[in-house]
A and B are shown apart, each in its own frame.
Chain A
Amino acid sequence: MTDMTTIPAMATITEVHPLSGDTSFFRLGLKEGEAQGFTFTPGQFVQLSVPAAGEFPISLAGSPGHGRELELCVRKAGHVTAVLHNLRPGDPVAVRGPFGTGFPVERMRGNDVILLAGGLGIAPLRSLFHYFLEHREEYGAITLMYGAREPSAILFRDELAELACRRDIRLMLTVDFLTEEPAGGPVCRVGLLPGLLMGIKLRLDQTYAAVCGPPALYRCLITELLGLDFPENRIFLSLERRMKCGIGLCCHCAVGDFFCCTDGPVFSYDRIKEIPGVI
């Protein structure tokens, strides 16, 4: 057994496939014996070590119920992720974590849930979404609203197309720009994500919102949700910060007197709204 807080547990890449031009899906298998009983809460993240490159924080994008099997959705953005994108099934990586506070799935039980994902923000919300689907009978109405820049930037297209056929969930997709005719894939609208909320009927006292996306999206989504009288303590959002240590020491992810890596990254809006510069 490895204490995965500071010492990473070894893992092997078992599957890689592209999701868009710069983003790929990675499935990892944690080495047997090193990560017994590994589990997490949707919204938590891990620090992924890539040999000879370093570490980066990344949301867990799969269901927590898969034991030693982890799913990640990684954009090629910096040095370490670029090296990762050159790796193939069979290559070794290592994992520390899981870290932070995820979405309050227990508190959400019995309620309706609305998931709002912008761009790469779909990664942690996919984890939450799969969790809800695996515990379908414990939750009320489940809605996923997902906005991407353009059709080719929609991640998990095949999966979403399949989910679109389910009758026990509501799936709404939108793209900012329609630059090309989408070749197959799920049906989507054109327009910004907050627009999907217009005209939506919500049972405000029985609904939780989970939001993840780029900072600019938070500003307009929060305004939109508050405009619908959505209670502030029922809006949960995941903050993007540069986590390094993962254990509340190094200060890279400090927001006011919170550390995103331990107090967050998922916060209820009422807890952080007074912190200037938070989104």
Chain B
Amino acid sequence: MPKTITEQNLRLLIDSLIKEGTRVIGPRRTGTITLYEPLARGEELDLNELPRRSAKEVFFPVCENILSFQRGEEGVKVTDIDPCAFPETVLIGARPCDAAAAPVLDSVFSWDYKDEFFLQRRRKTTVIGLACTTADDACFCSAVGLSPADSKGADLFLTPVREGGYLCEALTDKGKTLITSHARLFAETSAAAPLSLNEPAGVKLDLHKIKGWLDENFESPIWKEIADRCAGCGSCAFLCPACHCFDIVDEGTEAEGHRRKFWDACGFGKFTDHASGHNPRDAQPKRYRNRIMHKFKYYDDKFGQTLCTGCGRCIRWCPVGIDIKAVLEEIQKG
């Protein structure tokens, strides 16, 4: 029998998890901006709109210490950070475009070196996905093979129902455990009517055809046409649920300091710049081309996946109005 949970019980679930010592992260509205943030109480949960930034930072923080060093009498001592100490976390209210990005990123963070900073957070996080009822003009999840009802990447998936509350589908053991350990908050139902989810408008993209074009068109006038106005600000990469470039920087003095990992963006002019002066991507069109190639060709070549979930954030917030969906539609035309 399918399970349901009421709006009120969903908030009680959050309170209960917090009480048990679990970190709960979900959409929270501060002023006019909704972000995925740690919740202090269930009532802080605000599922009305797609959060401004993606949920990627739950697994891959904007910035984190990866080791620290102190210089003492016996030389320099390096202290490791133990990823096993990361807290048990529930990510609640992740939209399909955000939940689906995590399994895509698993590929790169485990293809050769197993990055425990990412993988431990993945293991320790239960994702409660949410079917999306708020597609806007920039959304294009259904154009890249997902949909507002896609539960990929979720352990438990909520679909809003007409009577209020949510239909709950447990997709993994983590999701099942969450339900059984809070069974009193869930009800069984035989007749819950899911709210209709509005599919994002726009052309369905043929990712295979797009990749075929990218295979042949490393050199094309299109890159200059699009990217001449790109300011190289990196907003697209920082808002993207799937971009995963990072930089490593040492901060501190000779006496002590930290090594930190920061998000980076291949759109930045210095991204591939060598101290020698050699820069393989020395102009913005080359950098924009890399962004598209990485998402729709290289990642596919290497891992058989597309590094884009169609969340549309890069379209919504690009300061010069570059629209990746329009670029892909143009490419699709050949």
Complex Cα spacing A92 to B74, Å? 11
Q: Which of B21-29, B122-130, B274-282 contacts A (4 or more CB under 8 A)?
A: B274-282
CB < 8 Å neighbour of A5 from B76, B113, B244, B276: B113
CB < 8 Å neighbour of B298 from A53, A240, A256: A256
Does B249 touch A at the CB level, under 8 Å? yes
CB < 8 Å neighbour of B280 from A2, A6, A120, A277: A277
Decide if the interface of chain B is mainly helix, strand, loop or mixed: mixed
Complex Cα spacing A7 to B117, Å? 13
The proximity string for A residues 1-24 relative to B, scoring 1 for CB distances below 8 Å and 0 otherwise, is: 010011110100000000000000
Does A63 touch B at the CB level, under 8 Å? no
Complex Cα spacing A81 to B274, Å? 12
CB within 8 Å for A56 and B113 given contacts A7-B80, A49-B250, A250-B247: no
Task: Name which of A81, A92, A242, A249 has the most chain B CB atoms within 10 A of its CB.
Answer: A249
CB < 8 Å neighbour of B75 from A5, A92, A253: A92
Q: Mark out the residues of chain A between 256 and 279 whose CB falls within 8 Å of any chain B CB in the assembled complex.
A: 256-257, 262, 276-277
Does A112 touch B at the CB level, under 8 Å? no
A249 and B113 contact, CB distance less than 8 A: yes
Does B253 touch A at the CB level, under 8 Å? yes
CB within 8 Å for A277 and B286 given contacts A249-B109, A249-B246, A257-B301: yes
Q: Which residues of A contact B71 (CB under 8 A)?
A: 51, 92
A247 and B113 contact, CB distance less than 8 A: yes
Q: Which residues of B contact A277 (CB under 8 A)?
A: 218, 280, 286
Q: Which residues of B contact A53 (CB under 8 A)?
A: 250
B278 and A248 contact, CB distance less than 8 A: no
Q: Which residues of A contact B245 (CB under 8 A)?
A: 250-252
CB < 8 Å neighbour of B275 from A31, A77, A247, A255: A77
Min CB distance A225 to B, Å, is 21
CB within 8 Å for A248 and B113 given contacts A53-B250, A240-B274: yes
The proximity string for A residues 37-74 relative to B, scoring 1 for CB distances below 8 Å and 0 otherwise, is: 00000000000010111111000000000000000000
Complex Cα spacing A252 to B273, Å? 9
A252 and B76 contact, CB distance less than 8 A: no
Complex Cα spacing A53 to B248, Å? 12
The chain B residue with its CB closest to the CB of A8 is B78
B254 and A51 contact, CB distance less than 8 A: yes
Q: Which residues of B contact A240 (CB under 8 A)?
A: 274, 276, 278
Q: Which residues of B contact A241 (CB under 8 A)?
A: 272, 274, 280
Does B112 touch A at the CB level, under 8 Å? yes
Q: Which residues of B contact A249 (CB under 8 A)?
A: 108-109, 113, 115, 244, 246
Does A94 touch B at the CB level, under 8 Å? yes
Does B167 touch A at the CB level, under 8 Å? no
Does B266 touch A at the CB level, under 8 Å? yes
Does B252 touch A at the CB level, under 8 Å? yes
Min CB distance B231 to A, Å, is 20
Q: Which residues of A contact B75 (CB under 8 A)?
A: 10, 31, 92
Q: Mark out the residues of chain B between 220 and 255 whose CB falls within 8 Å of any chain A CB in the assembled complex.
A: 244-250, 252-254
Does B257 touch A at the CB level, under 8 Å? yes
Complex Cα spacing A214 to B276, Å? 10
CB < 8 Å neighbour of A248 from B78, B112, B272: B112
CB < 8 Å neighbour of A52 from B244, B252, B264: B252
Does A254 touch B at the CB level, under 8 Å? yes
Complex Cα spacing A148 to B140, Å? 54
Q: Which residues of A contact B248 (CB under 8 A)?
A: 55, 244-245, 250
Task: Name which of A56, A215, A257 has the most chain B CB atoms within 10 A of its CB.
Answer: A257
Q: Which residues of A contact B275 (CB under 8 A)?
A: 56, 77-79, 81
Does B219 touch A at the CB level, under 8 Å? yes
Q: Which residues of A contact B266 (CB under 8 A)?
A: 251
Does A75 touch B at the CB level, under 8 Å? yes
CB within 8 Å for A52 and B67 given contacts A94-B78, A249-B113, A262-B112: no
Q: Which residues of A contact B302 (CB under 8 A)?
A: 257
A55 and B218 contact, CB distance less than 8 A: no
Min CB distance A253 to B, Å, is 8
10 contacts between A and B (CB under 8 A): A31-B75, A51-B76, A52-B252, A92-B75, A242-B273, A252-B247, A254-B290, A256-B301, A257-B302, A262-B112
Residues of chain A having any CB pair with chain B under 8 Å:
2, 5-8, 10, 31, 49, 51-56, 75, 77-79, 81, 92, 94, 120, 214-215, 240-242, 244-245, 247-257, 262, 276-277
Residues of chain B having any CB pair with chain A under 8 Å:
66-67, 69, 71, 75-76, 78, 80, 108-109, 111-113, 115, 218-219, 244-250, 252-254, 257, 259, 264, 266, 271-278, 280, 286, 290, 294, 297-299, 301-302
